[in-house]
Amino acid sequence: MSATPLRPGAEAIAEKGWLVAHKWLIVRRISQVGILLLFLAGPWFGLWIVKGNLSYSYTLNILPLADPYVLLQSLMTGQAPEKLALIGVAVVLAFYLLVGGRTYCSWVCPVNLVTDLANWLRARLGIKGGAHISRKTRYWILAATLVAALATGAIAWEMVNPVTMMHRGLIFGIGLAWAVLLAVFLFDLFVMRHGWCGHLCPVGAFYSLIGKVSVIRVKLPAREACNDCMDCFAVCPEQQVIRPALKAINGAPPVILDANCTNCGRCIDVCSKDVFALGSRFGGTRAYGVAGGRGADGALPSGN
Amino acid sequence: MDNEIKAKGSARRQFLADTARMACGVGLLGLGVGLYARHATALPPAAIRPPGALPETDFSGACIRCGMCVRDCPYNILHLAKPEEPMSTGTPYFVARQLPCEMCEDIPCVKACPTGALDHSLTDINKSRMGLAVLVDHETCLNFLGLRCDICYRVCPVIDKAITLDPQTNARTGKHTLFIPVVHSDHCTGCGKCEKACPTEIAAIKVFPLYMAKGQLSAHYRLGWVEKEKAGGSLVAPDIEHQYNLPEGMKYEVGKGLSTLPPAEPAPAMPGTGSGLPKAFQGGKL
């Protein structure tokens, strides 16, 4: 057993202690489970703080929140939302423009719990290899869902979308949706690493479009301190986003500007050299004298 | 130089191949999802949409499956369809035989809907058309059997308008009256209270989605008696008095039937001429 290489983050745990080396992971899990519990408090305990689900919700009879992606699909079918849904979309768009589009994926989406578990198990069981599908596939699927809505006049994707199926299922009764989630779990476990969230999910693809210009970013204030231990790559669900910022590819600023970074903060946790930190895309980057504009929607990342 | 051109060409080929592969793969997926969506837009007969729901083809594009109507229904009658149920996943419905719509006057389910899936212009619950009650089984309906069950009639929230009792002779006994429940589509909201209350093992009266329950006359059909009333008189004026085409020497009287003509009447001189013909064929004014 002594020959076994250290697991990613072991160095960070030794250096910073377990708690600090899992800080963002813990906060993130609290966020995911907490949001789910807010939705479940009504049906489970009669505490109606939030009504609805991730497609549309109404908090304390004041705050409407609506998923812009599902409403865009509805719009494609020729149907218009009511006022509260429009306000809800505006609030959600503004929020993710601030905190980062795919922050939805790692901090809110319940399917992340499933795929993270699959990925964790995949690493523990040492399952390697599998299918190769381009990470761009999700954008094709995103386009296909919109075309399907236009062609059928129905929000076709919502009939099979594992994301809303899981959230709705947990709150309103799961039915056979568990089978769909099991399929996603098994796909990520055996067929493809980060297969669903990282390659196929059009919900994430949609939110990444918001992420092209969003403010809060993982930054690399100490990228010179990197000792190439590769722990951040090992834990990152979107590995391709790190390299340009870490290795200053084409003079990239020390901030992860790729739209597909989910701001999960796991790289911050596992780095024993504290290369990473959470910050805004503005400020700091200028101090390095590198124009930040290009990187924002810059060249598509290499790798799968 | 040559190598560069070759490399460019092969890169272009690779790009086209990759794009084609992606387009085909995702296109197939999209086709599958689209076809599934088309199939799932047909509402199963037992599933009734909440009040104000758009026609099914529009509903499946407008409903975002948030479940707000389910939450704001004070009687908890609504469900969201599960993936295995034969309708659009996540859309709201109720089953009348389990729990019918209570027809709240303020229609909270419609108010809760963040899209136009439940039509917000519906403010009078009596104008909602969730479905239409149909007395499907004339063999088991107790009123058809001659009993005075009348339950569907009495539980109807639009009593005497949506369901009336139509008295008919009980041919079996020859001396009683059948009170046949008749549903009128211009008043029935499809709430399903009749189906819920029907006392037979399986309801004889059921609520179906409108598209299943309601027939429609062809556009060119006119009801003569309606047109006559509208015009203030017959449009094929004037009506012809009915003539019986009977064998010679016979007559027919309503209530009495056939009888032979009294022999006193002189027989016509020749067949085919004179008064032997029905009046209609004797010329003159019709």
Domain ranges of chain A: 10-20+216-297, 49-210
- What distance lies between CA A1 and its chain's CA centroid? 34
Among B33, B91, B113, most A C-beta atoms within 10 A, so best to mutate, is: B33
Flag whether residue A140 sits within 8 Å of chain B, measured between CB atoms: yes
CB pairs under 8 A between A and B: 165
8 Å CB contact of B65 and A156: no
Of A48, A55, A141, the CB nearest to B64: A55
Confidence bin at B279 (pLDDT 50/70/90): low
Query: Strand, helix or coil at B94?
Result: strand
Encode pLDDT of A21-68 as tens digits: 999 999 999 999 999 999 999 999 999 999 999 999 999 989 999 999
The pLDDT tens digits for B68-126 are 999 999 999 999 998 888 888 899 999 999 999 999 999 999 999 999 999 999 999 99
Q: Is A100 exposed, middle or buried (0-12, 13-18, 19+ CB in 10 A)?
A: buried
Write the pLDDT tens digit of every residue in B37-78.
777 666 788 889 999 999 988 998 999 999 999 999 999 999
Residue B266 pLDDT exceeds 70: no
All residues of chain A having their beta carbon less than 8 Å from the beta carbon of residue B76 are none
Q: How far apart are CA B189 and CA B194, in angstroms?
A: 11
The two structure tokens encoding residue B238: 């004037």
Q: Which residue of B has its CA nearest to A54?
A: B66
ipTM of the prediction: 0.83
- Adjacent-strand bridge partners of A240: none
Q: With 80 as the cut, is the pLDDT of residue B241 above it?
A: no
pLDDT digits (tens, 9 = 90+) for A121-142: 998 898 887 788 888 889 999 9
Give the least confident one: A106-110, B92-96, B170-174, B190-194: B170-174
What architecture does CATH give domain A10-20+216-297?
2-Layer Sandwich (3.30)
Q: Are A158 and B89 in contact (CB under 8 A)?
A: yes
Of B29, B63, B117, the CB nearest to A144: B29
Which residues of chain A lie closer than 8 angstroms to B27, CB-CB? 144
CB-based burial, B67-84: b 16+ in 10 Å, e otherwise: bbbbbbbeeebbbbbbbe
- Using the Cβ of A68 and the Cβ atoms of chain B, whether some distance falls under 8 Å is answered with no
